[in-house]
A and B are shown apart, each in its own frame.
Chain A
Amino acid sequence: MLPSPDWESLALLGQIAVKSSTAVLLAAYGEIVAERSGVLNLGLEGMLLLGALAGFAVGAATGDPAAALGAAAGAGALGALAHGIFVLSLGAEQVLSGLALSLLGAGLTGVLGRDLLGAPGLVLPSVPLPVLADVPVLGPALCNQPVLTYLALLLGPLLWWALGRTRWGLLVRACGENASAAYASGVPVRLVRYGCTCFGGALAGLGGAFLSLSYTPGWKEGLSAGQGWIAIAMVVFAAWRPLRALWGGLFFGLLTALQFTWQAEGAQWLPLWVLRAAPYLLTLLVLALAQTSAALRRRSGPPADLGRFFRPGG
């Protein structure tokens, strides 16, 4: 039941859909890189919040978009570094450390952001690309978006290339698939894993900054509302592939956009709470479907050394 099928509302739907996918996409890409190197980081939700608060606070203080985005990426990377120290150097249980990071992000941002609630701040608006933005339907969806959304759209193919077609990508994948063999052939496994984890954190931080600077400008406690967890599910659904994550993320964005339009139209046939719960329920459904399809399952296992502690020479 799509809204009235005129081009204008379809273009709006597409624009909201693509926009809504940004944070999940950035976080999911980051997690893909970390997990391909062998590190499971369940702290996405916390890093999104850290990035959102840092980006908003620095943006409000300086008015400088570059500083705000830098702070957001830095905050996310710092959170990821904490996770890295625990799981890579201390051999801590990766699931638990990730959960602790999520909890820390929620708690710390709640405490530090208490004076910024509802405060005005920097807004990163949509930047229409000349000419391209006027193309019907696809123009607004793909070429009239905030900068971070462009980044999210471009990073899919870019990471596909970097992970699958470059020497760097090979090193990362070697660490995730067989850490001992990689180490034996001279790859500094721990260093690569630290790097990938922090890269993932930086991307999640940027995803958070998108939420607090572009999507719903302003700081609100817990504004990520589970998008970090949805991103982790997206990684599993995408079988650890950036391009598939792009489609998954856009699908999530479409659901969010439909929720807005249905809500606006006051659709009576579906209770509002079901609509609001739909992203979580459908993510779960998609996860289950991905597992039932034998064809998908055969080609989509996690990296062999994902979540395993590697101690050089141990």
Chain B
Amino acid sequence: MRPVRLVLEPRQASGAWRAAISLLSALALAGLLGSLVFALAGVDVGAAWRALAQGAFGSSYSLGEILVKAAPLILTGLAVALCCRLNLWNVGAEGQFVLGALAAGYVGLFLAPAGAQPWPAHFALPLALAAAALGGGAWALAPALLKARLGVSEILSTLLLNYVAVLFMEHLFYGPWRDPAGQGFPGTAELPEAVRLPLVMPWLPGARVHWGLALALALALALWFLLARTRWGFRARVLGQSPRAAAYAGFHSARITVTALCLSGALAGLAGAGELLGVQHRIQDGLASGLGFAGIVVAFLARLNLLAVPLAALFLGALLVGADQLQTGLRLPGAAALALEAALLFGALLGEFLAANRIRLVRAPAGEAGEARHAS
């Protein structure tokens, strides 16, 4: 009996077909891994998926909640995807998210209250959003400069700063920013109406969708335009694909790197502002709930295509809203959502592999047994 062996061949297929293969295999593996997690946790696998689907799509309220989750996910997804297109890793969207929220919160708490400001009331919201973009961008500035000047890995620097950002936020809402009228409850006072993002459907009680979603969609388009249609975008893409070509062409690689990372930080900062000004309205525990990390999942589900980011964000948003139902319905902890995100990431990795390679089983000629070999 001649041995059967696996042969890998580069897949000759169109971009759309590859994307479909990648996506389907990603979902298949994610489903499998997710089921494994449920089984290990000792819950009925079928019931868990049903609860998830019910939680995500069971009511008009939950459909609205998907949009609420999608708004920050679009922005953090864009933040990660933009950097990855330049071969940079922004793993610090979580921290930039927090700093954005803090900057917006500062405007809301200390600059916007009635009577305190020398400008008309309708300037407060744009000011808070600008502060958030600045705050998030500034939090990315140190890693950006360390990367561009000294070559310090941006993966580590952005990641380490996440912990610092969260500790700083806790310091503020436990300490100097704590609501004096909060009866000891750790958290700031509610932000004034003037800085809140208005609801899209204020006539529907319980529909929390806010205009931050429209802002996120507009920014997705703008960022796509920046990268695909402008001179800066061209240079950035060249730098991402071949740093040596960029150097040869005389592009200021360091400056492009710093700009991209700060822009990425600003996007994540806006996500934090959206969550604070549109949903939570006060800085408190649970504001940084992993939406920054989830941006990594969104970016790679979208295969770094900026226009696909909103779709991927909707998908992950649905998953997160459904995962809430796992908490209430099946008493699984919130970490279940993290496990599902990890399953999606591994799925995306498998998807990329299957999109690029075809696996065939062939009978080897007698006497030759080997491991999987590249055919070319």
Contact = CB atoms under 8 A, between A and B. Distances in A.
B167 A277 contact: yes
Most buried by B among A96, A109, A312: A96
Given A103-B293, A236-B156, A273 B170 contact: yes
A107 B161 contact: no
A100 B342 contact: yes
B37 A86 contact: no
A283 B159 CA distance: 11
B254 to A, nearest CB: 14
B266 interface: no
B336 A111 contact: yes
A12 interface: no
Is chain A's binding surface mostly helix, strand, loop or mixed? Answer: helix
Given A107-B342, A111-B339, A312 B152 contact: no
A177 interface: no
Interface string A279-302: 011011001100110000000000
A256 B231 CA distance: 48
Nearest to B89: A95
A273 B159 CA distance: 18
B335 A111 contact: yes
A128 interface: no
B349 A86 contact: yes
A291 B150 contact: yes
B11 to A, nearest CB: 13
Contacts of A89: 372
A264 interface: no
Interface residues of A, number: 49
Contacts of B372: 89
Given A112-B40, A232-B156, A291-B150, A107 B335 contact: yes
B374 A291 contact: no
A90 interface: yes
A190 to B, nearest CB: 8
B345 A99 contact: yes
Contact of B373 (A93, A110, A281, A313): A313
Interface string A103-128: 11011111110100000000000000
Given A90-B353, A221-B333, A276-B167, A112 B160 contact: no
Given A103-B342, A107-B338, A291-B152, A281 B89 contact: no
B88 to A, nearest CB: 11
A106 B167 contact: no
Nearest to B166: A277
Contact of A314 (B37, B168, B353, B374): B374
Interface in B141-195: 142, 146, 150-153, 155-157, 159-161, 163-164, 167-168, 170-171
Contact of A92 (B332, B341, B353): B353
A226 interface: yes
Contacts of A236: 153, 156
B164 A233 contact: no
Nearest to A297: B151
Interface residues of B, number: 51
Contacts of B170: 273
Given A90-B349, A104-B346, A272-B171, A312 B371 contact: yes
Nearest to B160: A280
B371 A103 contact: no
Nearest to A87: B349
Contacts of A110: 333-336, 338-339
Contacts of B163: 225-226, 277, 280
B34 to A, nearest CB: 10
B342 A281 contact: no
A272 B167 CA distance: 10
Contacts of B350: 86, 90, 92
A111 B332 contact: yes
A89 to B, nearest CB: 8
Interface string A69-102: 0000000000000100010011111011101110
Interface string B50-78: 00000000000000000000000000000
B86 interface: no
A92 B339 contact: no
B273 interface: no
Contacts of A92: 349-350, 352-353
A110 B333 CA distance: 7
B44 to A, nearest CB: 14
A280 B156 contact: no
A219 B332 CA distance: 17
Contacts of B371: 312
B89, B161, B332, B339, most chain A CB atoms within 10 A: B339
B139 interface: no
B300 interface: yes
Given A107-B342, A111-B335, A291-B152, A277 B41 contact: no
B155 A106 contact: no
Contacts of A229: 156, 159-160
Nearest to A221: B335
Contacts of A225: 163
Given A93-B349, A273-B168, A311-B374, A104 B89 contact: no
B197 interface: no
Given A107-B37, A273-B171, A284 B157 contact: yes
Contacts of B89: 95
A86 B345 CA distance: 11
Given A229-B159, A233-B156, 6 more contacts: A97-B349, A107-B335, A107-B339, A233-B160, A281-B160, A292-B150
15 contacts: A95-B89, A96-B345, A96-B349, A107-B338, A110-B335, A111-B40, A111-B41, A111-B333, A114-B331, A221-B333, A226-B160, A277-B168, A284-B161, A312-B371, A312-B373
Interface of B: 37, 40-41, 89, 91, 142, 146, 150-153, 155-157, 159-161, 163-164, 167-168, 170-171, 293, 296, 300, 331-343, 345-346, 348-350, 352-353, 371-374, 376
The 4 closest A-B CB pairs, nearest first, are A110-B335, A107-B339, A107-B338, A273-B171
